Amino acid sequence: MAESKLKYPGEVYQPTWRFLRENFTEAEMRREYSRLRDIAQKRLGRMGESEFARSSTYQENVGKFPVLTEFTTKGKITAKSDFAYTFAKLARFVDNPLSLKRPQERAKKQQIQRLQESGYEFVNESNYWDFVRFMDDYKSDKRLAKMYDSDRVAQAYAAANKARVDPDMLLEEFEFFQKKTNQEYLKQWRRENPKADTSTMSADELRETIEDFKNAKAKEKGMKKNAKKSRGSSGR
């Protein structure tokens, strides 16, 4: 297990100003926030350049850690409740192994293996991210809501075997979802690349092109979030 990057015990990073003031001086909070933000931004940057730009860890954290000056007036923390909440969220992200590439890769491999061992052998490296989105988008669907006892994708994986979902039924739902979303991305790709000639592409080449396009769009979505939240990021 990687050594924690938190300078203080994890339990003191709580999302309430009163609790923080009992455990930190304001100067310590400012220094620690800026230090952890530097770590987080580097990790998010690397994640955004990889397939894990499509992960919930990336999507839920990118653009969520403003520069310190967003919370201060004349060097003093004045947006205290917002700072306390963001400081705690920042600490949780940095302390989360899934903010790093190798643990993300291991988790992905384990999730695929767990699903396959539970009978869902159609899930593999090539369709993993489509399946993640499928689970995420369908979690509120009435047909699947009865089958899964969780609204979080990772927990739904663990619930799959317990719920005894028919693999053939789930595959049918997934293939329908995948076909529909791939058609949507293909239409969007063609709109953005009107001069592209697909007549010389094989089916595999076209699928790979659309998969790359999906990844690029996930990264773009994350960057837009980040830009909205982090304008003026050269300050602290």
> pLDDT in tens for each of the 236 residues of the chain?
567 899 999 999 999 999 999 999 999 999 999 999 999 999 999 998 899 988 889 989 999 999 999 999 999 999 999 999 999 999 999 999 999 999 999 999 998 998 888 788 888 998 898 888 877 766 555 444 444 433 344 444 455 555 556 777 777 777 777 777 777 777 788 888 888 777 777 766 777 787 788 777 777 776 665 555 544 444 44
Specify whether the CB–CB gap between 36 and 96 falls below 8 A. no
Alpha-carbon gap, residue 129 to 11, rounded angstroms: 33
